[in-house]
């Protein structure tokens, strides 16, 4: 009996709902004195982020990244579309306890110390004094702020990086399952950026879901499971780095000799020094080898190279926005 039941129980096992699942999310603002100008920072945005994923949303300035986070968090009501956060409809207050948020320009109470601010943030989540007494120093250590400074100095005396660290500690005060970080690297020096990367990776190891916006593509490349690119309010690409960058691979080839005229025009960035030459090939590998062997060339080095995330990003944005003049 149990043998026959086992497969059907497995088949009906409840899959956890995605951390984020939205379809057709759009946001329109009416601006201007007569409210006759329409701005649409988000257009038909659909996305699913599984639990435990680290998702990076990239896009040029004004692309709609902050608006996306605000719509997902229910801070801004979308004009149309629907979706869920941790299985509950967008805007549902019952999941607030499980969500953390570092805003793009966090506002700090200048006259409070970081400790007082974090205590206040914890109280918003109705955390007990005894829990906060334990958690605040842990978070300060995690984000790299000295406990002494956090206890004694008001936040108006903090540097930009220190405020950003305080903001991150605030976003994690409720030990959230899902964290939204809007430009978390902003204002941080290289050490601070490195630490922020480590913190995001540790959140990932703890099985938390992280959704963040960033302009620092190298960091995104290291941290994310999956990325999305938003341009002009539209999500134009999404996928793992392998899915996105793997699409645009090329080969770097070096060699010497052969009837160079038979292949020089077919290689990108072709250069020649004496009888040695090099170039890049965007087609298939067998075709490259055929072309070179027919020309009688000897290959001395050949490796696969893929586009960097930065090159891919610029290509995607330019395909939609065109070349941006330097003065813009």
DSSP state of 275: T
3-state secondary structure of 210: strand
**Minimum CB distance to ligand ATP smaller for 113 or for 214:** 214
Choose, by CB under 6 A, the member of 43, 65, 119, 193 that binds ligand ATP. Answer: 65
**Minimum CB distance to ligand ATP smaller for 40 or for 48:** 40
Beta carbon of residue 199, minimum distance to ligand ATP (angstroms, whole number): 21
Contact 309, 221 (CB under 8 A): yes
Between the CA atoms of 176, 180, 185 and 187, what dihedral angle is there, to the nearest 10 degrees? -100
The structure tokens listed for 42 are 């988000």
Report 21-50 residues binding ligand ATP (CB under 6 A). 29, 31, 39, 41
The structure tokens listed for 216 are 């620092």
Beta carbon of residue 109, minimum distance to ligand ATP (angstroms, whole number): 23
Choose, by CB under 6 A, the member of 2, 4, 12, 61 that binds ligand ATP. Answer: 61
Torsional sign, CA 253, 259, 263, 269: positive
**Minimum CB distance to ligand ATP smaller for 80 or for 146:** 80
Give how far the C-alpha of residue 171 lies from the chain's centroid of Cα atoms, to the nearest Å: 17
Report 63-92 residues binding Mg ion (CB under 5 A). 65-66
Contact 217, 58 (CB under 8 A): yes
Beta carbon of residue 69, minimum distance to Mg ion (angstroms, whole number): 8
From the CB of residue 94, how many other CB atoms can be counted at a distance below 10 Å? 9
The H or E element that residue 40 is part of is strand 37-49
Instruction: List the single partner that 223 binds among ligand ATP, Mg ion, none, CB under 5 to 8 Å by kind.
Output: none
- Using CA atoms, how far apart are residues 30 and 34, in angstroms rounded to an integer? 9
**Any alpha helices (H) in the chain, and if so which ranges?**
2-11, 65-73, 114-124, 129-143, 147-152, 160-171, 190-205, 217-223, 241-245, 285-294, 309-321
Beta carbon of residue 104, minimum distance to Mg ion (angstroms, whole number): 5
**Minimum CB distance to ligand ATP smaller for 102 or for 267:** 102
**214 binds Mg ion, rule: CB under 5 A:** no
* Among 59, 55, 44, 63, residue whose Cα is nearest residue 20: 55
- Using CA atoms, how far apart are residues 267 and 261, in angstroms rounded to an integer? 11
Instruction: Candidates 59-67, 162-170, 239-247, 269-277: pick the segment binding ligand ATP (CB under 6 A).
Output: 59-67
Report 95-124 residues binding Mg ion (CB under 5 A). 104
DSSP state of 32: S
**144 binds ligand ATP, rule: CB under 6 A:** no
**Minimum CB distance to ligand ATP smaller for 69 or for 150:** 69
**67 binds ligand ATP, rule: CB under 6 A:** yes
Instruction: Candidates 14-22, 47-55, 57-65, 258-266: pick the segment binding ligand ATP (CB under 6 A).
Output: 57-65
Choose, by CB under 6 A, the member of 24, 62, 257, 283 that binds ligand ATP. Answer: 62
**Minimum CB distance to ligand ATP smaller for 27 or for 197:** 27
Helix, strand, coil percent values for the chain (each to nearest 5): 40, 30, 30
Report 301-320 residues binding ligand ATP (CB under 6 A). none
Beta carbon of residue 59, minimum distance to Mg ion (angstroms, whole number): 9
Say how many residues touch ligand ATP, by CB under 6 A: 13
The structure tokens listed for 44 are 């038909």
Site for ligand ATP, rule CB under 6 A: 29, 31, 39, 41, 59, 61-67, 104
Site for Mg ion, rule CB under 5 A: 65-66, 104
């Amino acid at each position: 009996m149990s043998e026959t039941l086992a497969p059907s129980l497995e088949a009906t096992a409840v899959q956890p709902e995605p951390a984020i699942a939205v379809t057709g999310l759009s946001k329109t603002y009416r601006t201007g004195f007569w409210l006759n100008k329409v701005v649409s920072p988000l257009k038909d945005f659909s996305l699913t982020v599984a639990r435990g994923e680290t998702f990076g949303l990239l896009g040029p300035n004004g692309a709609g990244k902050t608006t996306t986070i605000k719509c997902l968090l229910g801070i801004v009501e979308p004009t149309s579309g629907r979706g869920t956060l941790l299985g509950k409809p967008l805007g549902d207050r019952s999941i607030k306890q499980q969500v953390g948020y570092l805003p793009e320009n966090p506002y700090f109470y200048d006259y409070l110390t970081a400790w007082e601010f974090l205590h206040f943030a914890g109280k918003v989540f109705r955390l007990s004094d005894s829990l906060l007494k334990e958690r605040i120093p842990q978070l300060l250590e995690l984000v790299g702020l000295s406990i002494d400074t956090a206890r004694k100095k008001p936040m108006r005396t903090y540097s930009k990086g220190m405020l950003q660290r305080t903001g991150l500690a605030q976003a994690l005060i409720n030990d959230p399952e899902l964290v939204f970080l809007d430009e978390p690297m902003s204002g941080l020096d290289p050490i601070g950026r490195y630490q922020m990367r480590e913190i995001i990776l540790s959140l990932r190891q703890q099985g938390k879901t992280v959704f963040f916006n960033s302009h620092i593509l190298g960091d995104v490349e290291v941290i994310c499971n999956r990325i999305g690119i938003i341009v002009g309010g539209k999500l134009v690409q999404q996928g793992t780095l392998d899915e996105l960058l793997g699409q645009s691979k090329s080969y770097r080839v070096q060699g010497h000799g052969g009837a160079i005229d038979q292949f020089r025009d077919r290689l990108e960035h072709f250069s020649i020094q004496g009888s040695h030459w090099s170039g890049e090939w965007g087609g298939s590998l067998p075709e490259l080898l055929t072309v070179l062997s027919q020309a009688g060339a000897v290959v001395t080095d050949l490796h696969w190279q893929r586009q960097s995330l930065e090159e891919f990003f610029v290509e995607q944005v330019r395909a939609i926005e065109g070349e941006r003049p330097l003065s813009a």
